[in-house]
Amino acid sequence: GQQVMQIPQYQHVQEGEDFTTYCNSSTTLSNIQWYKQRPGGHPVFLIQLVKSGEVKKQKRLTFQFGEAKKNSSLHITATQTTDVGTYFCAGPWTGYSTLTFGKGTMLLVSP
């Protein structure tokens, strides 16, 4: 079955440092989505990438979709304590209306 791998599983940074999480799929994706889950909360949609090589920015967050549409990354510049949480990538199973989530990257930011 389709797998979505995400690394690292966990990262602890000092406030002000940059952070990147990577997502890799075993199959080509029609789109890739990113979600953020704060501690004790539920996953919240951040963005969707559709085009090969697409790059989107949201303030300090930069999202990229690989040329082959099998990998993606989320980069946070100058992390803040409000960035704490688990970041998930998600992609649709080929041919199905189902989202498969990566295992997530837990980000901890120390002040």
Partner 1 sequence: DTAVSQTPKYLVTQMGNDKSIKCEQNLGHDTMYWYKQDSKKFLKIMFSYNNKELIINETVPNRFSPKSPDKAHLNLHINSLELGDSAVYFCASSVQSSEAFFGQGTRLTVV
Give the integer Cα–Cα distance in Å for 8 and 110. Answer: 18
- Placement of tokens 């890739």 in the chain: 32
* Residue among 13 and 77 whose Cβ is closer to partner 1: 13
Binding residues (CB under 8 A) for partner 1: these are 30-31, 33, 35, 37, 42-45, 48, 86, 88, 90, 92-93, 96-101, 103-104, 106
Point out which residues pair with 37 in neighbouring strands: 86
Phi/psi of residue 78, nearest 5 degrees: 50, 70
* Residue among 6 and 79 whose Cβ is closer to partner 1: 6
* Residue among 61 and 90 whose Cβ is closer to partner 1: 90
